Amino acid sequence: MKKVLNIYEMKDGEVKGVEVDGFPVLLIKYKGRIYAYEDRCSHQDMPISENYEVEGERITCMWHGAEFDIFSGKNLSMPAPSPIKKLNVYVDSNGDVFVEI
């Protein structure tokens, strides 16, 4: 697992794209928790963190309108043919966020 940031560096509802060993990671802070996914829309591999909208428990890739569930990465609408890859996240007692690729 690699440290990516501290949980207090993100506001609730914020989305951030980071790289871990060259792998694109999408971070979403929602209701005080961090969720991590591969930062590629399953439709055309576009980076979601560069063009998105969060509404309720959905994140929309604004490149082509595909919607995903914040908690699971499940695809909720076309044109996304499949979920986005969910990554394991660990937050330690200091608030440091670690992601497993």
Digit-coded pLDDT (tens) for 23-59: 999 999 999 999 999 999 988 888 999 989 888 899 9
Indicate if the pLDDT at residue 62 is higher than 90: no
pLDDT of residue 2: 96
Order of strands across the sheet with 52-55? Answer: 52-55, 58-61, 66-69
Task: Give the 3-state secondary structure of residue 28.
Answer: strand
pTM of the model: 0.92
Indicate if the pLDDT at residue 100 is higher than 90: yes
Full set of structural domains in the chain with CATH: 2-100 (2.102.10.10)
